Chains A and B, each alone.
Chain A
Amino acid sequence: KNEVEQSPQNLTAQEGEFITINCSYSVGISALHWLQQHPGGGIVSLFMLSSGKKKHGRLIATINIQEKHSSLHITASHPRDSAVYICAAISGQLTFGSGTQLTVLP
């Protein structure tokens, strides 16, 4: 069974800071999914990637297949980025990390 670990569990940043959230997994995967969950529960898909890097606006996701590691970066963070960020490793089914609670202060 795939073990997925996220760090940090909680992160507080000042507006404008560069943010990195990390995700490690234990067995080979076909892809990795980054999700965002706002207060109230709705989950939105941010990225799905199987190699290299993807960028969408101020969000960047990278993955290193050999090291079994992915990172989610947020540039010029804003209070509206405050949410829980979840990574999920795809190897048949999804195995979820426990999430990172991000709070961006104005």
Chain B
Amino acid sequence: DVKVTQSSRYLVKRTGEKVFLECVQDMDHENMFWYRQDPGLGLRLIYFSYDVKMKEKGDIPEGYSVSREKKERFSLILESASTNQTSMYLCASSSPGQGGNEQFFGPGTRLTVL
């Protein structure tokens, strides 16, 4: 089974702090994604990566950056956390192939910024 893990299930940070959210997948997937999920807004794509050291902006990249130094690891960085970044953050991975890009999700990190 594909396994996608995220470094924390719950995280509380203060405004202005630098925050790192880590995601690791164990199935050698090329594609990795970071989403945030907010009530009434559904899942929104922040950044994605199709290869090591490659990143692309999603729908809402402002206030975030990412790093992909190794194929299995995709990090989301909040350079200076703000209260409007309080959200559930979900990482996913996929491998292009037959049938389309089925994505496998991590358990999520619920981030609260005070």
Binding site for B on A (CB under 8 A): 30-31, 33, 35, 40-45, 48, 50, 86, 88, 90, 93-94, 96-99
Contact = CB atoms under 8 A, between A and B. Distances in A.
B104 A31 contact: no
Contacts of B108: 40-43
Report, as a range, how many residues of chain B touch the other chain: 20 to 34
A32 to B, nearest CB: 9
B42 A48 contact: no
Given A41-B90, A41-B108, A93-B48, A98 B41 contact: yes
By DSSP majority rule, is chain A's interface helix, strand, loop, or mixed? strand
Contacts of B58: 93
14 contacts: A31-B99, A31-B102, A33-B102, A41-B9, A41-B88, A41-B110, A43-B108, A45-B102, A45-B103, A50-B100, A86-B43, A93-B58, A94-B103, A96-B44
